[in-house]
Chain A
Amino acid sequence: MSSPDVPTRGPARPGPYIIAGVLLAIAVVVPLFVPAYSFDKPRLAGIPFFYWYQMAWIPITAGLVGISYWLVSKEDRRRRETVRGTANGGQVS
């Protein structure tokens, strides 16, 4: 390839990616750990623990993914700015 491999992003700072990785790992592992929730009691409005606990993890996961999105996209923006500089002219959108 003679066309140069122009980097699209500057070097990464590991921090945001590590935090996001941990949050996402929690969101995958905890809902799959069945021994932690295969009970009937305590019930919530008549719904057994097994059912409402898993449903409760839906908004929690959404939150964890949302925080990860915020962390990673902020870092992503910073990395792109280091490559492009402040001049944004000439971009194709």
Chain B
Amino acid sequence: MNSLAVPLAAPDRPVSGVALTIVIILFVAVAALGFVAARWRAGQETGLHSLDEWGLGGRGFGTWVTWFLLGGDLYTAYTFVAVPAAMWATGAVSGFFAVPYTIVLYPIVFLLMSRLWSVSHRHGFVTPADFVGGRYGSRALTLAVAVTGIVATMPYIALQLVGIKAVLTVLGLGSAENVLLTDLPLIIAFVVLAAYTYTSGLRAPALIAVVKDLLIYLAVIVAVIYLPIKFGGWDNIFGAAQTKLGAVNPATGKPAGVFIPGAASYSAYWTLALGSALALFMYPHSITGVLATKSRNTIRKNAAVLPLYSLMLGFLALLGYVAIYAGTKPIDLNGAVNPQLVVPQLFLDHFPAWFAGIALAAIAIGALVPAAIMSIAAANLFTRNIYRDLIKPEATPRQEASVSKIASLVVKFGALIFVIAMDQSTAINMQLLGGIWILQTFPAIVAGLYTRWFHRWALFAGWAAGILYGTIAAYNVVNPVTKANFGGSIAAIPGTDVQVYIAVVAFAINLIVAVVLSLVFRAMKLPDGKDITRHSDYGADENDPKVAQIQREYPLAEPGTTV
């Protein structure tokens, strides 16, 4: 397909036959892989009838599988669509911050995640809220962490659908008139996803991630070498980007975007990067990926090799600028400009149809991996921290697994309805809020890995204060063009005009409240909850016995009992 085949005047697009066929073939192959995954590394007598097996893939993923799994989990389809879209539309501050974000992420992961792995391994924790519950013995705090995780994950799943939708739109599926027909491919894709997640659990996305990641690397490497040569070098591309982003937008009287941040944007740029990096591994789906690894050091080794994905993301971001030079026209079904179509459209315009098909399939399949892991993670949170903690404390592992499977279906269909029934911007706003909210669980989870100094109720109060401030501040950001609320994630620090990422200010408020109230509550001698973890748990590795085993060998029961 070349650009001649895309009539820009008419919103309805011609179907790109070859590319669509490739996408369908790859999608079917991947779906089959998802079902086969149920048998991969299985064979224990339990089958998939426990959360360790269904929800954490048997807790045995080594370095390679984890690399693909976390790569597919963290660098989502929405990222691949949204980051170049942001570069194309507004430039460096809202787009390229993804690069420092995914750089500083890994030292942080290195520091925190092996401790979380160790204590979770010893106690059989499946979710971050399990750990908070074990550490602080506070039901309110556990529930706060669990609910925040579920609520923040839902719109994230919905955005993966937005990623698939971008691909389908560019391929020419759907029309502005027939809404049902437009959404039908999306619904089919999601039903298939739901089915293999239900049967195979975390093994399905782990296996699919390998295929998806290889396709994405192939697409990005080829595009980044071929397109700049075709367009006469990066000089031309950056020149076009500078011109476009520097042009004054008549609606706001300001430049359309930022080519290289000036002094006024420094704080926004680095707080966006830092805040996002701190938040990412508080998301349940990231922690699910960590807890599914085999040993304490798997995640640390991965922190050193996962940055390869960041490099790919950086080049992908630059494709947003390539699209500016190429004059890509991301026209949506309703005839409006939709920046999210930029990268799929770029591939379709400038590559042979079969290669565009591979690239678009990589993005669409890329949505399935994180969507599956996110729904599993949210389902695990529901099962362990709402169903088991509040409804049925004596639930067996088998019951937990079946509840979690059903919950994963509910979560996915919730996300589907989200995307089909509501405006796309609702999902994006919710995702923006989700990022702010999830960071508010950081003090409870991370401080607990190192110290019991914080008081459980102080952490709860800090969480509430952070959520409250973050929500209000995000609501008050008004889009200068559309005058809509939730217009962005940057606001001034109260009392100053320093522009920063709202989540970081909310986090600071959260931390201050938690520290001050901990001092007050300690002075008042309010009771601490029961801490079931011990110092030695935080350094345990896969060869150390689990707590259940220690208790068998050193029974807690009356003196004199022997085993």
Contact = CB atoms under 8 A, between A and B. Distances in A.
Q: Do A and B come from one complex?
A: yes
A7 B534 CA distance: 10
A48 B236 CA distance: 12
Interface string B530-563: 0000111101111111000111011110000000
Nearest to A63: B304
A45 interface: yes
A1 B556 contact: yes
Contacts of A59: 307, 311
B536 A28 contact: no
B397 interface: no
B103 A57 contact: yes
Nearest to A88: B543
A27 to B, nearest CB: 4
Given A46-B237, A65-B303, A38 B261 contact: yes
B274 A32 contact: yes
Interface string B258-284: 011111001001100110000000000
A27 B549 contact: no
B556 A64 contact: no
B107 A62 contact: no
A2 B557 CA distance: 9
A87 interface: no
Given A62-B307, A69-B304, A50 B92 contact: yes
A27 B107 contact: yes
Contacts of A92: 543, 545, 549
A9 interface: yes
A38 B262 contact: yes
B478 interface: no
Given A35-B266, A62-B305, A48 B556 contact: no
B259 to A, nearest CB: 8
Contacts of A46: 228, 233-238
B355 interface: no
A91 to B, nearest CB: 5
B455 interface: no
A39 B266 CA distance: 12
A91 B540 CA distance: 13
Interface in B245-264: 259-263
Contact of A66 (B108, B260, B273, B304): B304
A78 interface: no
A54 B96 CA distance: 9
A65 B106 contact: yes
Interface string A28-41: 10011111001110
B111 interface: yes
Interface in B61-100: 92, 96, 99-100
A4 interface: yes
Contacts of B260: 38-40, 48, 50
A64 B107 contact: yes
Given A35-B266, A48-B238, A69-B301, A5 B110 contact: no
Given A38-B261, A45-B234, A69-B304, A3 B550 contact: yes
A5 B534 contact: yes
Contacts of A34: 261, 266, 269-270
Nearest to A73: B297
Contacts of B303: 65, 69
A18 interface: no
A54 B260 CA distance: 12
A68 B109 CA distance: 12
B359 interface: no
Most buried by A among B100, B102, B238: B100
Most buried by A among B260, B263, B540, B551: B260
Contact of B96 (A51, A73, A80): A51
Given A40-B260, A46-B238, A4 B554 contact: yes
A91 B539 CA distance: 16
A64 B537 CA distance: 27
A2 B556 contact: yes
Most buried by B among A4, A5, A40, A61: A61
Contact of B307 (A48, A61, A72, A93): A61
B175 interface: no
A25 to B, nearest CB: 8
B310 interface: yes
A58 B108 contact: no
Given A3-B555, A65-B303, 9 more contacts: A8-B544, A28-B107, A28-B274, A38-B261, A45-B233, A55-B99, A58-B307, A58-B311, A62-B106
The 4 closest A-B pairs by CB, nearest first: A46-B234, A46-B235, A3-B554, A24-B107
Interface of A: 1-9, 24-25, 27-28, 31-35, 38-40, 43, 45-48, 50-51, 54-55, 57-59, 61-62, 64-66, 68-69, 72-73, 76, 79-80, 91-93
8 contacts: A2-B554, A2-B555, A2-B556, A24-B111, A46-B235, A55-B315, A61-B103, A80-B541
